Copies of this chain bind each other. A is one copy, B any other.
C-alpha cells in the first residue's frame, strides 16, 4: 500500500520532472507460434490492472519517453513502439484523482491534472521478451487477448483502438520482420496474419497477394525433411520491406 508520505513525494517529483497534462500508454502485442497476447501490469496498490504507462520528462522527446516508460515498467528494452492515437476525453483520468483525493490535498495531487494520453503500440515475439515489473507493480504479464482482466481508466478502449489499427495496417503495410524466423514457409506467415485478424484466410489468395507485394524472396532450396512435398522457404526482401513500410504496398495506387 502506498503511504501518504510516499504519495506526496511521488506527486512532488512528478510536478518537478514531467510535463503536465500528458501521459503515454503502451500496448505491446506479443506473438509466438500462433498465439497473440498483450502485456498487462498489475499494481501493488489494490491489484488494479493497466497497460504500461507513464509521463514525459520536461525535455524528453516523446518517442524516447515511450521507450523509457516501457522499460521502467516492464523491463522490456529496444522495442519499436509506434504512435497510433491520442485519447483526449476530459474525464478519462478522473478516476486516478478520485483514487487519491482522500490521501492528499487536491492542489498537491498530481492526478488532479487532466491527462491526455498518447497511445503507442508494438508487436514483438513474446518468447524473446521476459517482462520484469517495476517496484510499483506486483506483476507484468502476457495475457491472452480473449482473457484480458478488466483494465482501469480508458485502457480497454486504448487496447481496442490499438488492435483495430494493427488490423487495418495489415492491409497496406508489411509486418512480420522480427516475428518470423529468417526463413519461413508461406503457411507460417499466413498463421501470423490469421492470428492477428482472428480469422481463417484462403491459402491461395493469401499466397497470391503476399507475392504480389514484392517483399518476399524465395529460397532456391525447399525445406528438407518431412514426409510431404517439401515447402518453399521465403525470407523478407528488407529493402522492399522498408520501402513498403514508408510508402505502403506496391499493390497500392
Interface residues of A (CB under 8 A from B): 19-22, 56, 58-63, 65, 83, 85-86, 88-90, 114, 116, 118, 167-168, 170-172, 193, 197, 201, 206, 247-249, 252-253
Contacts and interface: CB of A to CB of B under 8 A. Distances in A.
B22 A170 contact: no
Copies in the complex: 2
Nearest to A115: B19
B59 A171 contact: no
Nearest to A193: B253
A58 B88 CA distance: 11
Contacts of A63: 88
Given A168-B172, A170-B253, A118 B20 contact: no
Given A20-B20, A22-B116, A63-B88, 5 more contacts: A56-B88, A59-B114, A168-B248, A170-B253, A171-B172
Closest A-B pairs by Cβ, 8 of them: A62-B88, A171-B252, A171-B172, A172-B172, A19-B21, A171-B248, A168-B248, A59-B90
A90 to B, nearest CB: 5
Contact of A58 (B114, B172, B197, B252): B114
A116 B62 contact: yes
Nearest to A85: B83
Contacts of A249: 171
Contacts of A85: 83
A197 B253 contact: yes
25 contacts: A19-B21, A19-B114, A19-B116, A20-B21, A21-B21, A22-B22, A59-B90, A59-B114, A61-B88, A62-B88, A62-B116, A65-B88, A83-B86, A86-B86, A88-B118, A168-B247, A168-B248, A170-B252, A171-B171, A171-B172, A171-B249, A171-B253, A172-B172, A201-B253, A206-B253
